[in-house]
Structure 1
């Protein structure tokens, strides 16, 4: 046993002793996995259960609960041996640090045992993924500072927050935006337009300059390199000189038409890609090709979203995710505009956008899409309600009905689809 683990055993005794003398907070911050002493683990579980039932905890009541399993003399010994009863937080910190060392060492030992030096690449990749998963199970450090007053809403209201905009009024850092549409509606071009605009320091709907170019990471599990090149070249040409010089170097792309398994074997790859790109915006497309699990199963979809949340928070980036609609119909008999698969998608994002054909007085408006909200926005954002195909040197998709594009909105539109771009 190492010195740190031996010291931790004494700290385990002190944590239990402190709890028996009334200092229970530190015990509640630890888990059963933190205790290597079997009797301490049993006593800790018993005390937590008693606190949950709002029962009084001391040496006598705990000894009564554990009668026949842990002798009362041992329980009294733990209480009497505590150097300082109100130092339970410090003792718990020692225990947790030992747990972190122990779990980390076990993860590395398992990795070394799995690899002898001549394994095929897929075994190495799986061992890498398993080791990362093991290391993520390492519990966090404890806050061993003296007890402070718990945070209140009054404290929260005294704080000053400002929006951390990527696009003022439209998109904030760490926001999760899920774009849903049927096949062929035009969502791929709109996603690319948004990415190019941010990389070139422009507003994605008006082309007006905003506060500096942003770094965009594109993870595309559907389109080929050739399709991506044609689409980006055509859209950039429509922006013209509104884009900042060198905008294309701000878009980092990973084109993987064979599909990905981000919750599984490709998780470590994604972490490495995001670390290298340091993105402000990450575009994922399409959702159904980013996982190998069942898209109808909550647990499988949650595993995918957990990975996305991790890179979102770690890099302070917004997420823009394309997914498809299912084939079910809504109450009007039209194809329902909501993400295909698990209902987890309905609860997860801050913004849920659905694109459908724009209908006015029962007439389908050619070259126009209604921009609906299948999930109510948590805060107001200036996403358009209708978009239409731009013409000539305008952007591929422009906001319909705004003053900025008023003249264009009133003009007849007769723009055939660009033959170089398959708008899926």
Structure 2
């Protein structure tokens, strides 16, 4: 699998040179087992840093000029044609990095055996062994590149929408709310409407979104009771029946900070190839309460490994019981402060005083980008959807410095 991933890293760079910035955080040329691909990767990073045009033809020409063997025109174009998408470049790079670490472990094991059978005393042997293992675990930094601002500005800044105006690939949305506030229903509407090809706020037609749900709180029976009517309505309004395309894994509890459970989720992603993953609630994805940054860090790392595959993440979290200065419940997620700055969008559902059918969508962190999330939702309408926007600004989205409108 690592050989295919090495080729896919190169192919992703040829499809979208911007992916080179993403994979540089994970790998260097030394991580490639295929020497030609490793040298080709180093060349691509050099070309990117210099602001050179990157495509299969320019790459082959430069590789030949640099005397790199093993990258003929036919092979490079086969790699380019067989790479499915550049969106998963991070994931390909992680496979390459993992395989490189295992190869270094083999070498380290041989060196440790030599140290163990040598004539040096135990103290010296332990010191030497620690140095060997430190060499295995140290993350290479040779991939760090700093292209010019001009080169960055020449790249595309187009949005890679899944839900126009709301979510694009790799976005992270964390929704909170008090018990019974309706956040689970709102998540189901986002998933099932978008899967049917319906915008979950404006209810206009969009491209259907491939969705995977990993629910660590609700059972299959609860999904049948709570989601059936939404799915049927979405099927009538959309171009696709979400009952046929949305895949749901209901589990009693996960610990995605372990290799076993995280690998199980990655296998689901391999099998169903989703564009959006709804997973949570967060407190059910770890074995104990999240009370510190040390508790949150492995959870964040695990979720980011899924995001690195090009997925948008939609997650639920429970709000704490503390109150704000004006006596309202604080809607920030329970636990570590690290969770506050992590997602692109963090918002909670707060009941509107005197109006039991409405909730305000309150930001507990500033949005990282301008989007058209509604300010208020209303339930129990005759539209057939459990939640509808009660905000006149929904449906219009204008990015900073531009004047575009989607509707």
The TM-score normalised by the length of structure 1 is 0.60
Measured after TM superposition, the shift of residue 200 of structure 1 is 0.4
Superposed CA deviations along residues 259-278 of structure 1, whole A, max 9, x for unmatched, are 11000141221121121121
Measured after TM superposition, the shift of residue 170 of structure 1 is 1.0
Measured after TM superposition, the shift of residue 156 of structure 1 is 1.4
> Is contact 1:238-1:393 (8 Å) kept?
no
Superposed CA deviations along residues 128-173 of structure 1, whole A, max 9, x for unmatched, are xxxxxxxx95956956xxxx99422232122222100001111111
Measured after TM superposition, the shift of residue 285 of structure 1 is 2.1
**How many Å separate the matches in 2 of 1:246 and 1:391?**
22
Matched position secondary structure for 2:355: strand
Please say if 1:350 is aligned against 2:344: yes
Matched position secondary structure for 1:266: helix
Q: What is the match of residue 153 of structure 1?
A: 149
> Is contact 1:199-1:248 (8 Å) kept?
no
Question: In the alignment, which of 320, 327, 346 is matched to residue 321 of structure 2?
Answer: 327
Question: In the alignment, which of 169, 179, 200 is matched to residue 183 of structure 1?
Answer: 179
> Is contact 2:177-2:350 (8 Å) kept?
yes
Matched position secondary structure for 1:354: strand
Measured after TM superposition, the shift of residue 280 of structure 1 is 0.6
Please say if 1:394 is aligned against 2:394: no
Q: What is the match of residue 369 of structure 2?
A: 379
Question: In the alignment, which of 281, 284, 291 is matched to residue 289 of structure 1?
Answer: 284
Q: What is the match of residue 124 of structure 1?
A: none
Q: What is the match of residue 205 of structure 2?
A: 209
Q: What is the match of residue 105 of structure 1?
A: 106
**How many Å separate the matches in 2 of 1:279 and 1:365?**
37
The TM-score normalised by the length of structure 2 is 0.62
Q: Structure 1 pair 259/101, CA: closer, same or farther in 2 (3 Å)? A: closer
Q: Structure 1 pair 388/273, CA: closer, same or farther in 2 (3 Å)? A: same
**How many Å separate the matches in 1 of 2:339 and 2:141?**
32
Matched position secondary structure for 1:234: helix
**How many Å separate the matches in 2 of 1:207 and 1:250?**
19
**How many Å separate the matches in 2 of 1:167 and 1:99?**
37
Please say if 1:220 is aligned against 2:219: no
Q: What is the match of residue 334 of structure 2?
A: 340
**How many Å separate the matches in 1 of 2:163 and 2:330?**
29
Measured after TM superposition, the shift of residue 195 of structure 1 is 0.3
Question: In the alignment, which of 297, 303, 307 is matched to residue 308 of structure 1?
Answer: 303
**How many Å separate the matches in 1 of 2:240 and 2:99?**
53
| Structure with the greater alpha carbon radius of gyration | 1
Superposed CA deviations along residues 212-270 of structure 1, whole A, max 9, x for unmatched, are 211111010011110111212121234351122332222111001x2110001412211
**How many Å separate the matches in 2 of 1:137 and 1:249?**
44
> Mind listing any 5+ residue stretches in structure 1 that lack a counterpart?
1-28, 31-95, 110-135, 406-424
Q: What is the match of residue 241 of structure 1?
A: 236
**How many Å separate the matches in 2 of 1:242 and 1:225?**
24
**How many Å separate the matches in 2 of 1:185 and 1:97?**
42
> Is contact 1:294-1:301 (8 Å) kept?
no
**How many Å separate the matches in 1 of 2:172 and 2:367?**
11
Q: What is the match of residue 66 of structure 1?
A: none
Q: Structure 1 pair 340/158, CA: closer, same or farther in 2 (3 Å)? A: same
> Is contact 1:338-1:374 (8 Å) kept?
yes
Measured after TM superposition, the shift of residue 306 of structure 1 is 0.8
Q: What is the match of residue 358 of structure 2?
A: 368
Q: What is the match of residue 250 of structure 1?
A: 245
> Is contact 1:100-1:139 (8 Å) kept?
no
> Mind listing any 5+ residue stretches in structure 2 that lack a counterpart?
1-26, 29-96, 111-135, 396-407
Please say if 1:259 is aligned against 2:249: no
Matched position secondary structure for 1:194: helix
**How many Å separate the matches in 2 of 1:268 and 1:106?**
26
C-alpha root-mean-square deviation of aligned residues, in Å?
A: 3.1
Q: What is the match of residue 73 of structure 1?
A: none
